[in-house]
Structure 1
Amino acid sequence: MRRILPFIIFTIYCIPYVYLSIRKDFEDDSKINYIIMAMVTVVLSYLSGLIRADLSIILGNIVSFSTSYFYNALRLPDPKWEKYFSPVTSVEQIVLISLAALVLQMIVYTVARKRAKRYIRNAMVSK
């Protein structure tokens, strides 16, 4: 179980959340996927902080950003796609959303690490 949970976290992180969010925004003019993306990544980063799955969070974000960037590149020839995200391009939007999500994840990860340390410290004292 010790190695399975970080692998599951990594696997869920690998989903291209940013691309799926902007695609849903483009197709349905719906912002709901941005909220879902934020909630999922916050929960994953909190779990990563509790179990200290540093590698899962780092590699998962890299893979997620890369696949979002790749799928976006496939859509670039469509002029409607680029025009929809004006005044910024879809590439800039992917980078900005990914950076904002990363900052949010690092804040939540830090809080989770502090809680885990406090729990471990209290468990040691109570023995």
Structure 2
Amino acid sequence: MKKWIVRLLLLVVFSFPYVYFSMYQDLINSSMIGYGLMIATLIFLIFICNKTHNFPVGALGNIISFIASYLLITCSTGEKWSYYFKPFTSVGLLIFVSIAIIILQLAVIGIIKSRKLNDTKNGHNL
């Protein structure tokens, strides 16, 4: 498959407003499943970015996802949104979760790179 098609598909999948979806699921269903699905999906996408050498596409997708989530939250926040996510506001929780996603992404990338470095030092080829 052509590289630009893979990059475009990764960008589209990364650009989904994961944080908004997770917060919406938490608000409507009082369920943390949305957050778990978000984390699992993002870790899977990071591994795909590693295999295809597209980490910058993942970073750009996270920025687009944050902007989309921010726009959706600010347009759809009602009275219920304002008190449900205490001690945070809905935008505050969006920022907190987005920073946590970036930290998670950097940690997974670091683990992948250190594992790859250790494997090459030990003579294993990936």
Q: Normalising to structure 2: TM-score of the pair?
A: 0.86
Structure 1 segment 115-126 matched on structure 2, within 5 A: 115-116=115-116, 118=119, 122-123=124-125
> Identity, % of aligned pairs?
29
Aligned partner of 1:31 in structure 2 is: 32
Cα distance between partner residues in 2 of 1:56 and 1:104: 16
Aligned partner of 2:92 in structure 1 is: 92
Q: Report how many aligned residue pairs link the two structures.
A: 122
Cα distance between partner residues in 2 of 1:90 and 1:97: 11
State the shift of 1:79 in Å.
1.3
* Secondary structure at 1:48 match in 2: helix
The residue identity in structure 2 corresponding to 1:14 is S
Query: Structure 1 residue runs of 4+, over 6 Å off?
Result: none
1:31-87, Cα deviation, whole Å (9 max, x unpaired): 1010000000011112212322022111100000000000000123x1111111122
Q: Normalising to structure 1: TM-score of the pair?
A: 0.85
* Secondary structure at 1:73 match in 2: helix
Structure 1 segment 3-22 matched on structure 2, within 5 A: 3=3, 4-22=5-23
The residue identity in structure 2 corresponding to 1:45 is I
The residue identity in structure 2 corresponding to 1:36 is L
Aligned partner of 1:70 in structure 2 is: 71
Gaps of 5+ in 2: none
Instruction: Pick 1 or 2: higher relative contact order, CA cutoff 8 A, min separation 6.
Output: 1
| RMSD (Å) for aligned C-alpha atoms | 2.0
